[in-house]
Structure 1
């Protein structure tokens, strides 16, 4: 509890004079509680009671300025005004530059709007190109699948065929007699009843012609190739040809696509030090060594298996 210095009444909340440091209630201090709260800490510390305000010394009135002082101030003002025309010119130049800048900004704004429009068009075209690329990718995948299926079908149609290379063409030749002679040399009898057809087929960019034999039974064809491959030195001299002897090769009849694939497999197998490459049942087989597993190559993407 505090005692008011003016009315000697005790109170809980009031003010304190910053001059005499005495406490007053809000009524004797001539200030409301809300007004006191709004003063803030600094102004509360400087607040003075009515008694202290009345006892404060009066501020002496200023003496009238002399004529010399007034003239001196006028001269200072004139000196300051000397630079006014230059300042006005500078302001005018700045104003002109601001006007030019405004025109430039307006033109730039127009170009930016144009760029935004063109950018939106480019983004739209890019979106359309993205969709078109997806379509192209799907078509390419379909084409690759169709090419693989076609190549597989062409090779499947040759599963009963044997390709014989190295037998020279003779006038009035009997191809059945040549097959019989080869059968005698490799110890495999092949009756005509097992042959569907036999014919000569030209080799691309060569005067040589292959002999293609189509068997009715695939197992007969496989046995015939196995017997021929067992004879490592099979040549034209073994089947009645006179003159210089040349090697005869008996293999599966591969399509053009499979022959290209076989060439790529042989090149990669050599680079990766694979020991064996062969064709069986119309499929390309490779083996790195006797301790590794056989890898079958059916399409070009399978070349990734050669590691």
Structure 2
């Protein structure tokens, strides 16, 4: 269709309810959105700008407005006094507003300062968190290394103890100059009724101990079973002393046991203390292992580590 105002063809527009002419939105002085919002009734009554100018305006008949009487001087002065009273607090209000502005300014400055401090604190916190993460990683590595070290120590101690399985430790034998350890061992064998031949022995020697006057004698047998039988025979003879072996005047007891390493000896001492506390009657070493039993009819427990001590109830 063609616009009656600009004679340009268009596809969508408006229609005047008075002249029936079609106009595009630009010539009709209305937007497409505005036209859609008019609704059906208002679009049906819509007039183009030309028809609106041609239509006489309806002037409403107004009733006469009563002329106000002029205010008296007294009335005016009264109103002025009232206004002065209302304005009396204006300086105070202005001062309050000024103070509020200063407080707002200070608050803004404080907020900006706090913001800077917060940023600084956040940066420090991030640095601390990073260090904490590194420390946690180091702690995990340290725990892992400690576990490895403990494992190596445990394996080393077990290997050391296995190397002593054929050994016997004899304590309580007085140490003499130019002594013959084979002779002493032969006397012990005769006394416990278990003769020991030299060809059954790997080596025999004394080893130093901390704070000890007489060094203990270590006998290493070539055969583990001979060693176990020798210890069993020695334990059958209760109260073996130095005088029983030809040492005149030496009444101290002679002890014949498995050759334990330092870790096993410390564990044995802790086991004895715990057994006494828990009222266990028997603590002994057999095959280089620590055994405990509460009474004659109870089960035998083997103590291989400090953790096993928790089993003593």
TM (norm. structure 1) is 0.78
The reply on whether 1:218 has 2:214 as its aligned counterpart is no
> For 1:16-43, what per-residue CA distance to the aligned partner results, in whole angstroms no more than 9, with x for missing partners?
xxxxxxxxxxxxxxxx9999xxxxxxxx
Q: CA deviation at 1:300?
A: 2.5
- How far apart in 2 are the matches of 1:141 and 1:299? 15
- How far apart in 2 are the matches of 1:117 and 1:62? 77
- How far apart in 2 are the matches of 1:217 and 1:105? 87
2:125 to 105, 111, 119: 119
> For 1:56-113, what per-residue CA distance to the aligned partner results, in whole angstroms no more than 9, with x for missing partners?
xx9x969647423333222111111111112111211111121111111111100101
Alignment of 1:265-280 (within 5 A): 265-280=271-286
Q: RMSD in angstroms over aligned alpha carbons?
A: 2.2
- How far apart in 2 are the matches of 1:104 and 1:34? 61
The reply on whether 1:262 has 2:268 as its aligned counterpart is yes
Asked if the contact 2:205/2:219 (under 8 Å) is kept, the reply is: yes
* SS of aligned partner of 1:145: helix
Equivalent position of 1:230 in the other structure: 236
* SS of aligned partner of 1:233: coil
1:105 to 111, 117, 121: 111
The reply on whether 1:209 has 2:222 as its aligned counterpart is no
Equivalent position of 1:94 in the other structure: 100
Asked if the contact 1:164/1:250 (under 8 Å) is kept, the reply is: yes
In the alignment, structure 1 segments of 5+ residues that lack a partner are 1-31, 36-57
The reply on whether 1:299 has 2:305 as its aligned counterpart is yes
- Pair 1:69–1:62, CA change in 2 (3 A): farther
- Pair 1:286–1:303, CA change in 2 (3 A): same
The reply on whether 1:148 has 2:131 as its aligned counterpart is no
The reply on whether 1:181 has 2:153 as its aligned counterpart is no
Q: CA deviation at 1:187?
A: 1.0
- How far apart in 2 are the matches of 1:244 and 1:90? 108
Number of residues of Structure 1 aligned to a counterpart in Structure 2:
254
- How far apart in 2 are the matches of 1:207 and 1:65? 136
Equivalent position of 2:53 in the other structure: none
* SS of aligned partner of 2:279: coil
The reply on whether 1:161 has 2:167 as its aligned counterpart is yes
* SS of aligned partner of 1:170: coil
In the alignment, structure 2 segments of 5+ residues that lack a partner are 1-38, 43-62
Return structure 1 stretches of 4+ with deviation > 4 angstroms: 32-35, 60-65
- How far apart in 1 are the matches of 2:238 and 2:41? 121
Asked if the contact 1:148/1:299 (under 8 Å) is kept, the reply is: no
- How far apart in 1 are the matches of 2:252 and 2:212? 16
- Pair 1:61–1:269, CA change in 2 (3 A): farther
